[in-house]
Amino acid sequence: MPRSEPDPQPDHRIGVHLDRVLADRGMTLTELAERVGVTVVNLSVLKNGRARAVRFSTLSAICDVLDCQPGDVLTFERP
Amino acid sequence: MDPMPSRAARTAYLVLTVIFLITVVAGLVLVAHRLFGLLQDSHTLSVPASISVDDVRLPETFEIAGPLPVTVDLVGPSVMQRVIATVPVLVWWALVLVALWLLRKVARSAAEGDPFRASNVTRLRWLGALFLLGFPLATMVDGYFSDLLFSADVWTGGPLPPGGIATGFQVVVSAPAIMAAVCLFALAEVFAYGARLREDVDATI
C-alpha cells in the first residue's frame, strides 16, 4: 500500500486507460488485481493516473491478463 | 513498501524515551533545588565556577592548564541570586530536552519501520542547528549569568579569590559540537535522499 499519495498534479503526460480495457474485457479491477498479483489499491492508483511509475513486470502481467499491448493501456498525451 | 521495524530501532526508541524522562525529572529537581534549596540546606546555594590556577598553591612540580572548576557555596542567597543561578540551568536543560525530543522522534519513526520521512530531515537539520548555534549560545548565557552572580552588585558570599572567577561572557568554539553539527547536516541530506527514493518507490506500481 502506498505510504503517501502521489502528487495530484503528476509531472508526466502518460494517460492510463486501464478502465477502458477492463470494460472491453468485462473484467473488474479486483479480478485483475488478483490475477496480476498487485493490490487493488495500487491498481486503483494506476487506473486513476496517480502512479508515478510502473514496473515492467507489472505492466507485463497486466498485458498478459488483459491480452493487450502496453499501448492499449498507456498513451502519451500531447499538450 | 511495507514498514520494516527492527528490534534495534525499537530498543533505541525505548532507551531515548527513558533518557528523556530522566532528563525531565532531573531538570525539574535541579531547578527546584536552585530556586528553593530542596536537596540540601535551603540556606545554602551551591554554584559551579572556575578560578585561576594562580589562586591555588601547588607544589612546584605540579602544573595545571586552564582554570580550575570549583563549587562555591553562597549562604543565605536572595531570590534574585537564586534566579540568576537558575537561568543557565534552564537554558542547558531546554537545549538537552529539545535535542532528546528530536532524537526520540527520529528513533520512533525508525521503530515504526519508516524513518525516511521529510519530517525527519527537518528534525536532523534542527539538531545540527542546535549543536552549531545552541551550544555556543548556552555557553554565552552561562558565562553571562555567572559573571552577573559574582559581580560586585550581586555577590554577597564573601571575598572572591584574588584572580576573580574565571568565567565570563565568551563565545566558545567547540570542535566536537561543530563536528556533530556537520555530521547531523550530512545525515539530514542522506535522509532527504532516502525520502525521495521512498516516495518514488511508494508511487511505483
How do residues B157-167 score in pLDDT, each as one tens digit? Answer: 777 777 777 66
Predicted ipTM? 0.70
Beta pairing, strands B68-75 & B44-51:
antiparallel
pLDDT of B12 above 90: yes
pLDDT of B121 above 70: yes
The mean pLDDT value of chain B amounts to 86
- Do B169 and B143 meet the contact criterion of CB atoms below 8 Å apart? yes
Residue carrying C-alpha cell 530536552: B97
- Do B141 and B88 meet the contact criterion of CB atoms below 8 Å apart? yes
- Cα B17–Cα B19–Cα B20 angle in degrees, nearest 5: 65
- pLDDT mean over B171-191: 91
- A54 interaction partners in chain B (CB closer than 8 Å): 204-205
Cell numbers at B144, concatenated: 553571562
Facing B205 at nearest CB: one of A3, A4, A42: A42
pLDDT digits (tens, 9 = 90+) for B140-150: 888 888 888 88
- Do B51 and B68 meet the contact criterion of CB atoms below 8 Å apart? yes
Q: What is the pLDDT of residue B14?
A: 95
**Contact (CB<8Å) B203/A55:** no
B71 DSSP β-pair partners: B48
pTM, rounded to two decimals: 0.75
B161: DSSP letter: P
Which amino acid appears at position B27 of this protein?
A: G
Residue A57 makes CB contacts below 8 A (sequence gap 6+) with none
pLDDT digits (tens, 9 = 90+) for B62-106: 877 777 888 888 888 888 989 998 999 999 999 999 999 999 999
Residue A56 makes CB contacts below 8 A (sequence gap 6+) with none
pLDDT digits (tens, 9 = 90+) for B148-159: 888 878 888 777
Q: Which helix (H) or strand (E) holds A34?
A: helix A29-36
Facing B205 at nearest CB: one of A3, A4, A38: A38
pLDDT digits (tens, 9 = 90+) for A14-47: 999 999 999 999 999 999 999 999 989 989 999 9
Task: Tell me the CA distances in angstroms from B40 to B83, B150, B160, one per residue in order.
Answer: 17, 22, 23
